[in-house]
Each structure stands twice: as C-alpha cells, then as structure tokens.
Chains A and B, each alone.
Chain A
C-alpha cells in the first residue's frame, strides 16, 4: 500500500470530519466517527496495561484479605483473653463481655490492641469499663495482656459511643503505667474516677 493510500485510509470519510470548524482541522486532530483500522498496537498496549493493573489489584486484594484474616484472629483472641482475665470463673472460650470497645491498631505494624468492655450487662453510658492492652502473637487462641486501665464511659445514646481517650481513663496498672498510646499520650490522664457527670467532648461538629 502506498503512502498516499495509507494517508487516504487514515483520513475520515467526508461525513466523518464533522461540519464547520471541525472540517478545517488537520487529519490527525480531526474528530472521527469511527476508529481507523491500525495494526493493533494501541489495543495491544492498552490490553497489556489492563492486565498489569489487574494483576496489581489481584495481588493487593489477596494480600489485604490475608492481612484481615490475621487481624480477625487477633480480634477473636483479644475478646477471649479479655474474658479470661476479667472472669475468675472462666471456663469456656465464649465467656461474657458487654459493650466491647476494641481499638485495634490495624494501621501501623504493631500488634497492640486495646479491649474495653463492661463485665455486666448494662448500658455503657456513665459506667466504668475495664480496658486491657494486648500485645504479641496469638497462642492457642489467646493473647497476653501487658497492662490496662479503667475507662469512664461517657455518652448518652446509641450515637455517642464510648471513647477511649486519656481524659476519661484512670487507674492504670501493669505496663499501662509507663506505656504510651500510639499518639504519644499517656494511657491515663485522670488521677481518680470522675465524681460528677462531665459532658463528653464528642459529637461536637
């Protein structure tokens, strides 16, 4: 095929050049009503990029799924361990906890999780929860608590959850006395349990 023929093939048909302004555009810039037939390189490159992106997404998905499985195991072990630590008559794996608040550090690569919950079936607002800090690997479905503290559970209704903040926590014990939270704050900022109801600093938007 001659260059002239090739050029003629690349040019859109007369009706495809559009009207008015578009008709004055050079052929490489002019709009076309249908794609010209090429040798398929463009489609090949696009398909190659799509396959690479698909592989990336597949690897990321499987990696993240496996990561979430690990986090789920930790969560399960944390809850079981919390029950075992707080229930002296612990016998089975599925003991009692109420209103659990779990702060899992799933964003940085540590295994520090904090589980706060009530030992009795009460509404959390205005009660004191027991918080335990877990670190390390899962052994036989349990994890080791390195310390803990008590948390004054502020909040009034379903939309005001318990917040694990230093200003609501007191009575640190074990490693929690010296250990700092991931944001650098101490675990306990209150010297003693609160005596009066203090409206929580939540829902302030």
Chain B
C-alpha cells in the first residue's frame, strides 16, 4: 500500500513491478470472494492504472474541455490583438491582421472569464488525459501554443526588457549588468520597457543575456518574434522532458503532459508573454531527465520498485559522464535564471556521486569564466542580484496577502527576514530528508514551491517553476500542493470581475 500511495495509483489494487519496470496491477484479494463487484472493482482499477481506452463520455468530456481551452485562449488573443486594453503592455503593434476577428478590446471581464473557463477545462482534462489518445493531446497543445505564438504580448513588459538588455549590449556597447534601459532612452525599444524597470540592471543570468544578443539585430518587432519562438521552444522542450521523465518514473506521461503543457499559468500567462522561464525550466528538466535515466540504484529504486541498475565496470564511466552533464545542465539553467540553482544541492545529496560534483564545478568554472569575460565582475555577481530582487514586493504574493490578513498594511523588512528564515528552515529539512533517502526530485520541487510561496515578489510565471517536477514526482502531495497554490493565485486575480469596468 505504501508503494501505491507513493506512485499515486489505484487504491484497492496491489501494484507489483514487472521485469521491465512497468507496473502491473493485480486485483485486490477480496475480489476473488465477491465475483461481480470484485471483478468490477478490479476492472476499474486495472483500467485506471493502465490508462485504458476512453469511454464515450470520457472522449466527449475531453473534447469539450479541449474546445473550451482553445476557445478561451483564442478569445483572449483575438481581443488582445485589437489593442487598447489595460491588460496589455504598451507594445509595438504587430498583430493587426488579427484585430478583425472580434473587434472588441480585451476587458477584465472577458479575460478573467476566459481564465476561469480555461482553468475549469484544465481541471476536467487532467484526470481524463490518461484515457485520451496521445495525438489528440499533442494536437491540443500545438493549437494552444500556436494561438499564443501569433498573438500579441499579454500582461507583462518583461520581453521588452529582455530585448532592451540585448540591444544595450549588442548595439550600444553597454553592459546590461551596469547600465539600465534608461541609458538607451533614444532606442526604439525604450518606450516599451516597463516603467518599473527602466532604471534597473538586468536580473537574468549571463548566459541568457549572451543568448539574447543576436535578437538585438532583428529590430524590435523581429526580436519580439524571436523571443516568442525562444519561449515556445523552451515550452515544448519542457513538455517533452516532462513526458520522458514521467515515462522513466512509471508515471502516466499523458497526464504529466497535460498537467504541464496545458496549465493556464503556462499558456495564458507565461507563453503568451514570451517569458524566459521556459528556457530555465527546460534545462532543469533536462538535468532531471539525464539523472533519473542514469543507471544508478540511488534513483529511489526501493521506494518505487523500479529496476534501476547498479553501474558496474565500464558503465561507471558512462554514468559519471551522464551525471556530470546533468549537473552542467542545471548550472547552465542557473546561468539563464538563477532560481534553478536551488535544486542543485538536492541533486548532489540525492545522488552522492562524483559525476554531479565534477559537472557542477566544471560547468561553473566555464560558465562564470564566459560571464566574466563578457560582462566583468558584475556578470558573475548573482548574489547581489538575488538580494535586490528578493526585496521587491508584489500584491499577488502570499506574504502580502497574509500581511493584510493580519491587519498590516503590507510587508515590512522584518517580514523579509522572517520569510528567508522560514525558507532556509524548509530547505534544510528537505536536504536532511534527501540525505535520508527521500526522492531528491520531489524535494527539489518542494524547495521551488517553497521559494514561490515565501517570496514577496510573486508573479504568475514563477508558479510554473515547480510544476514539471510536481508532474513527475512520486510524492503526489507535491502536485496537489502546486496546483492548489496556482489556484489560489488565479482566485486572487478575479476581483475586477466584481467591480464595474
């Protein structure tokens, strides 16, 4: 039963592990004594665990949910293409050919109504995904992503900051870790940079900044399309890696795909605004994929009953290389956006192998060396950037909400200190659990979730950080907790629905 609880599979059915590591389901013992009911329960349990072909109503409900997702996304994008909405950042007008689809501006009520509709459809589709054809699910994601790709930038000015930093470095010869967009006030991208960020140096990792430089030469609109394509590539990579990791861990990959790829915060908030978080997450998932695919018994084999192999002889070198590359992928992810560095200690503690440490050190030396050559000492000073960002406060953060609940006007400096203390305590506890055999992937997911919940600067795209890990984690509590936190965030957005526009 403990195994069943860990893997989140059917209750009432004992799960054993077949020779290839794929779970097989035996009917519960009492089924033999109660023929009709027992057979029914056993059949249901088997069908549930193995992702049986969908029944008619499952197909109908799945199609309805998919249609609702496409419709709501399309509605938001079509209305947004008209422009002039408070939900849109000041932006170059490059989606004029879409404006005649509806002719209406995007209002809060339409946006929030669509968001809630999308969220409800997502909730309905998640449990059905395991029964639906893979091609249909992939087609749904492709359609959603295509709609987001061709639409305008929604909700956030961050993509214009990415382009501004790229143009500063590539065209104006200014170090974006020293200078701010205010120093290129004559540049065509400048009017589109968010007012809060024009005096702020880049907070992104040096490798991402270097990667963004070529986009500077595409012009403003070309760079926006480039950033959109980059975000889409990262998002697709994230989905594919979530699929593969779920397969490796004997978790239904179709469910993982929908949990990650069709998430409202992924599609409507993050992809439609072309955020670079996808790149970081894709690298994080690549690291996890390389690690859990490595032939090492330490990959929670006892807990899940998998048949991971212990490396012997010549395979030891292969394992070492694979783990080194895995750690390197994480370090590269951290040099895209620093947050992902938080899961590195869990990987090292969970694996306790030289490969991860060697990979970390080598990639850090190379990555920071490149960053130093490109940007000087400011490019490698990630700590001060993190310290600066951790002092920001957003109205959507749980810290602010709890402060209001306690009758305080907002978050005070002492609250930052308390929250950091709580985060450190959670991190230490998770590290100890990992040291004592808890699944390091799940621990890393909890750590990312704790970072988002305790952060005073919470934005929608931060809440997708732990999602792919939660989708492939054997501790299903992580998935429920992540989805619950996301739901709270969505609920917090809906207040404009109750006030006149």
User: Which chain A residues have a beta carbon within 8 Å of chain B's beta carbons?
Assistant: 12, 15-16, 18, 22, 31-37, 46-47, 50, 53-54, 56-69, 71-73, 75-76, 107-109, 157-159, 161, 203, 205
Contacts and interface: CB of A to CB of B under 8 A. Distances in A.
Contacts of A34: 300-303, 437
Given A34-B300, A63-B404, A203-B199, A57 B485 contact: yes
A61 B401 CA distance: 6
Contact of B2 (A37, A60, A63): A37
8 contacts: A32-B435, A32-B436, A35-B437, A46-B477, A60-B398, A61-B492, A64-B492, A68-B495
A32 B303 CA distance: 12
Interface residues of B, number: 44
Contacts of B92: none
Contacts of A50: 477, 481
Nearest to B490: A61
B301 A203 contact: no
Nearest to B304: A34
Given A32-B437, A69-B498, A60 B300 contact: no
User: 3 closest pairs, A vs B, by CB?
Assistant: A72-B499, A32-B437, A34-B302
Given A63-B405, A161-B195, A73 B437 contact: no
A60 B352 contact: no
A10 B456 CA distance: 41
Given A32-B435, A61-B491, 20 more contacts: A15-B297, A16-B298, A31-B352, A31-B437, A32-B437, A33-B300, A50-B477, A56-B402, A57-B485, A58-B488, A59-B405, A61-B488, A64-B492, A65-B491, A65-B495, A66-B495, A76-B499, A107-B410, A158-B90, A159-B195
Contacts of A68: 492, 495
Given A67-B404, A159-B195, A33 B491 contact: no
Contacts of B398: 57, 60-61
Contact of B481 (A33, A54, A65, A75): A54
B494 interface: yes
B496 interface: yes
Nearest to B400: A64
A69 B500 CA distance: 10
B198 interface: yes
A101 to B, nearest CB: 13
Contacts of A36: 437
A157 B310 CA distance: 65
Nearest to A38: B2
Interface in B414-458: 433, 435-438, 453
Contact of A35 (B303, B407, B481, B500): B303
Contacts of B400: 64
Given A57-B485, A159-B198, A33 B302 contact: yes
A59 B491 CA distance: 11
Nearest to A58: B488
B313 interface: no
B413 interface: no
Contacts of B318: none
Interface in B157-183: 182
Given A31-B436, A33-B301, A203 B182 contact: yes
A100 B302 CA distance: 63
A69 B499 contact: yes
Given A57-B485, A65-B494, A159-B198, A31 B435 contact: yes
A99 B167 CA distance: 31
Nearest to B497: A69
Contact of A57 (B191, B437, B488): B488
Interface in B314-352: 349, 352
A68 B433 CA distance: 40
Nearest to A67: B404
B120 interface: no
Contacts of A59: 405
B488 A72 contact: no
A90 to B, nearest CB: 17
Contacts of A22: 352
A24 to B, nearest CB: 14
Nearest to B429: A46
Contact of B436 (A35, A37, A60, A157): A35
Contact of B477 (A33, A47, A64): A47
Given A61-B492, A76-B500, A18 B436 contact: no
